[in-house]
Amino acid sequence: MKPIRRIRARTTVLPTRDIDTDQIIPARFLTTTTREGLGDYLFHDLRFDGDGRPIPDFVLNRAESKGCEILVAGQNLGCGSSREHAPWALLDYGFRAVVSTEIADIFRNNALKNGLVPIVVDAGTHRHLLDNPGIELDIDVARSTVTLPDGQTASFPLDGFARHCLLEGIDQLGYLCQQLDAVRRFEDTRPWTP
Amino acid sequence: MGGARTLFDKVWTDHVVVGETEDTPAVLYIDLHLIHEVTTPQAFTLLREQGIAVRRPDLTLATMDHSTPTSAVTSFRDLAVVVGESAARQVQKLQENCEAFGIELLGFDSDDRGIVHVIGPELGATQPGKTIVCGDSHTSTHGAFGALAFGIGTTEVGHVLATQCLLQRKPKTLALDVDGTLPRGVTAKDLILAIIGRIGIDGGTGHVIEYRGTAIAGLGMESRMTICNMSIEAGARAGMIAPDDTTFEYLEGRPRVPQGADWDRAVSRWRALASDDDAAFDRKVSLSAGELQPMVTFGTNPGMVVGINEPVPDGDGDGSFRKALDYMRVETGRPLAGTGVDVVFVGSCTNSRLSDLEQAADVMRGRKVADGVRMLVVPGSQRIKKAAEARGLDRVFIEAGAEWRESGCSMCIGMNGDTVGKGQLSVSTSNRNFEGRQGIGARTVLASPMTAAASAVTGTIADPRPFLRESAS
């Protein structure tokens, strides 16, 4: 994973609440055995009509969304299925961060493992972001802050370990493998075995 | 620590390899890793790239369920025809990976194959006090046995394959107390839908739910699995129920549980897992079972739910709510009962066990699926299929005009050839009524097996209670 320290990018806004991972990437596209190219299927059934033509009204299909790398979404983003294909699709499409007032647990975990920064902001900041699509945000991972164009800054919760991994581009598997001595001790000394 | 502990605290503490600090999450040991074809190929690719072996293949169990067809298929060529090239390749890949990494696979040729969350308990691999994970959010099902079980992403699948451990922050706890007795015609499915309606689909985010109270204690294991299964639909990664005599009776004699003196030792260890009387929870919610009625969803998430005879609410002008009603083409101010139905699906990891099929069959017996309605009945495993056939349930469904299938996820997820058509209304015993979940443009109403069966018979969303015979409960 590449280190992620700072993201300066414009937002695109999908104000709907409870955007589930089936909407982010419908299940019929999960038959892949790789993680590449899933951006083509991102929000597929919202982006394309039954004949595969882009739906002009959908926000990602509008000209002003081009080049936006931060997705601002309604409350409870990423609920539902554990499919990691959801953050893979968002990243492959070009998003680098997602912002909401609440982000579902498994999606949030999956996002962090892939360098998609999940940002939970207060309701006031969120309202402002929903009302002002396309503004440029400055995300500082080290300080866990989002700064708006008017200089207003909001902080977001980010677990210390997750922050460290993002900043240094650390693969968590490597860290886990360093714990294997402790794992062996645990296995050797536990009172029962599965 | 010391002091009173919850069921969750006990199982968590028992599996901490390295404790969490402010800077680092806990290293949590995993006792059982269930894997399937959809969320594993990229994890195995990573292991291959890094030259890592599967650390504990003996604690890993594979099956195929998501992209597998529910029609009888015996060759991969047939498979590609039914589910498509890509899904067939995925199934084949799982077979190759299991062979290469020495993992037991309950594949097409196995009588033990089935939906991953059905076969774990059925084989007795799921046991109280275990930590269980799977690349599937409905792993919460196994919590019905007093296991700590939750869904993980594919990167984490790789972590468990490589180290048998996960990096985790300790979640909060939510006690969900349900007292009383479920009225006749009201099932565990109705109860969990009512719970989700009450706390919201994000009400459990960041928490592990423990379901307690006299109503929960009175439920059989299959009903308890239905409850824990849908914990994730309330945002909770895991739901748990304290193991008791009902749990032990269900497990005793199953192929993968301890035997003889080991069984007795295990049971005494399991008995000690229940939350201590004065254990503290971060949150508490209580509900009364006696007042519940059959529940149906009217929107595009499981929290948008009402009693079958209650009017659909109007959402007070909320945009997302309105959008959901427009998608569902549902009118506010009127009950859903009486709405025309195109498809009825009985199956999924929520409601595909023998008791679910029996409940649906009790309603169907001697009746016919209404004209113009397609009904699909999909047992959760090949074992359940066989047991149902031994009881003649297959005949009940087939004679009524329903389709009786091989096991699998089927219409719950619409990635295996079983789908609901565009705009069609489906009454489904599955767990998610998300837009497009059962097929592009499909409109899903979640309900119990009894409500689904009553809806199949009448051709409209129907209250099952008038259809119940004296003996049925």
| Phi, psi (deg, nearest 5) at residue B438 | -95, 0
pLDDT at position B438 is 97
Q: What are phi and psi of B310, to 5 degrees?
A: -95, 150
Predicted pLDDT at B470:
64
Nearest to A182 among B27, B45, B441 (CB): B27
Closest CA to B11 of B171, B176, B94, B130: B130
Residue A89 lies in a domain: yes
B290 within 8 A of B297, measured Cβ to Cβ:
no
Chain A residues with beta carbon closer than 8 angstroms to that of B31: 194
- Start-to-end CA distance of chain B, whole Å, equals 45
Distance CA B402, CA B456 (A): 9
- Quote the CA–CA distance of B135 and B94 in Å, as a whole number: 14
For A28, nearest residue in chain B (alpha carbons): B415
CATH topology of domain B7-168: Aconitase; domain 3 (3.30.499)
- Cβ atoms within 10 Å, residue A153: 13
Q: Which CATH topology does B172-241+269-290 take? A: Aconitase; Domain 2 (3.40.1060)
Q: Rounded to the nearest 5 degrees, what angle is found at the Cα of A82, between the Cα atoms of A76 and A86?
A: 75
State the Cα–Cα distance between residues A179 and B20, nearest whole angstrom. 13
In this predicted structure, the answer to whether residue A133 has a pLDDT above a threshold of 80 is yes
Range of the domain at A161: 6-189
State how far residue B415 is from chain A, nearest Cα, in angstroms. 5
DSSP secondary structure string for all residues of B125-160: -S-TT-EEEESSGGGGGGGGGT-EEEE--HHHHHHH
Chain B residues close to A113, C-beta within 8 Å: 153, 155-156
Distance in Å, alpha carbon of B151 to nearest chain A alpha carbon: 6
**Two tokens, residue B229:** 């299964």
Crossing angle of helices B382-390 and B354-364, in 10° steps, is 40
Q: Which residues pair with B134 in a beta bridge?
A: B34, B151
- Give pLDDT tens digits for A66-92: 999 999 999 999 999 999 999 999 999
Query: Which of A34, A102, A194 minimises the CB distance to B205?
Result: A102
**Contact state of A177 with B205 under an 8 Å Cβ cutoff:** no
pLDDT at B472: 44
Structure tokens at B12: 């968590």
Q: Nearest residue of A to residue B139 by CA position?
A: A82
What pLDDT tens digit does each residue of chain B (473 aa) get?
A: 469 999 999 999 999 999 999 999 999 999 999 999 999 999 999 999 999 999 999 999 999 999 888 988 777 778 888 888 888 999 999 999 999 999 999 998 899 999 999 999 999 999 999 999 999 999 999 999 999 999 999 999 999 999 999 999 999 999 999 999 999 999 999 999 999 999 999 999 999 999 999 999 999 999 999 999 999 999 999 999 999 999 999 999 999 999 999 999 999 999 999 999 999 999 999 999 999 999 999 999 999 999 999 999 999 889 999 999 999 999 999 999 999 999 999 999 999 999 999 999 999 999 999 999 999 999 999 999 999 999 999 999 999 999 999 999 999 998 998 999 999 999 999 999 999 999 999 999 999 999 999 999 999 999 999 999 765 44
Tell me whether domains B7-168 and B172-241+269-290 share a fold: no
Q: How many domains does chain A have?
A: 1
* Contact assignment for B164 to A183 by CB distance below 8 Å: yes
In a domain, A96, yes or no: yes
A104: nearest CB among B17, B29, B235: B235
CATH 3.30.499.10 for the B294-467 domain, yes or no: yes
Distance, C-alpha B30 to centroid of its chain: 20
Quick check: helix, strand or coil at residue B60?
strand
- Asked, for residue A17, whether it belongs to a domain, the answer is yes
Round to whole Å and give the CA distance between B401 and B366: 11
CB contact under 8 A, A161 and B153: no
Test A109 with B136 for CB contact under 8 angstroms. no
Q: A104, B202: Cβ pair inside 8 Å?
A: yes
Interchain contact, B25 vs A22, CB within 8 Å: no
Tell me whether residue A194 is in a domain: no
DSSP letters, B158-185, are HHHHHHSEEEEPPPEEEEEEEES-PPTT
Closest CA to A84 of A116, A59, A128, A129: A116
8 Å CB contact of A23 and B436 = yes
- Tokens matching residue B118: 């059905």
Residues of A in contact with B320 (CB under 8 A): 15-18, 74
- When the pLDDT of each residue in chain A is averaged and rounded to a whole number, the result is 96
**CB distance A15–B269 less than 8 Å?**
no
pLDDT, residue B2, reads: 62
> Are residues A172 and B167, on separate chains, in Cβ contact within 8 Å?
yes
In this prediction the ipTM stands at: 0.97
Q: Where are the domains of chain B?
A: 7-168, 172-241+269-290, 294-467
What is the amino acid identity at position B103? I
Distance CA B230, CA B125 (A): 20
Which residues of chain B neighbour A182 with C-beta distances below 8 Å?
Answer: 17-18, 27
Residue of A3, A15, A23 whose CA lies nearest to A96: A3
C-beta atoms surrounding B333 within 10 Å: 8
- List chain A residues with CB under 8 Å of B230: none
| Coil, helix or strand at residue B343 | strand
Q: How far is B173 from chain A (nearest CA, A)?
A: 14
CA distance, residue A104 to nearest chain B CA (Å): 7
> Does any domain span residue A1?
no
**Which residues in chain B touch residue A190, judged by CB atoms under 8 angstroms apart?**
14
Among B42, B137, B162, select the one facing A173 at the smallest CB separation: B162
How many C-beta atoms lie closer than 10 Å to residue A132's C-beta?
A: 14
Contacts of A186 in chain B (CB under 8 A): 17, 29
Tokens encoding B367: 């009746």
Q: Which residues of chain B are within 8 Å of residue A175 when distances are taken between CB atoms?
A: 167
Quick one: pLDDT at residue B217? Answer: 98
